[in-house]
Amino acid sequence: MDFSKLNGLVPAVVQDSESREVLMVGFMNEDALARTRETGFVTFFSRSRNELWTKGDTSGNRLQVISLFTDCDDDTVLVKVKRLGGGNVCHTGARSCFFKELA
């Protein structure tokens, strides 16, 4: 992976492996990607808290990795997941973070 274009980070798109709904986008650094692959649960790097966070650690709504892809120039990750817990990915309680359509 090429982490050089974005100060050590790559965008990580999370997609429901069954419904194919795009659930959220976070960022991963090298450690977050390694942790994601080792544990099988999606781990991001929090830009605001400057630390790793495994999605769902507090809510229980973890994201289980089903498959993991990189793009053609290795600067973006696509993670296909199974939603665990209540299955609501967004902190607002919505299933997906992309619930606001621009007019």
CB of 18 to its own copies, least distance (A): 11
Q: How many Cα atoms within 13 Å fall on the side-chain side of residue 2?
A: 8
CB-based contact 45:34 (threshold 8 Å)? no
CB of 24 to its own copies, least distance (A): 7
d(CA 60, CA 15) in angstroms, rounded, equals: 18
CB of 6 to its own copies, least distance (A): 8
Which CB atom, from 36 or from 62, has the smaller least distance to its own copies? 36
Which CB atom, from 37 or from 82, has the smaller least distance to its own copies? 37
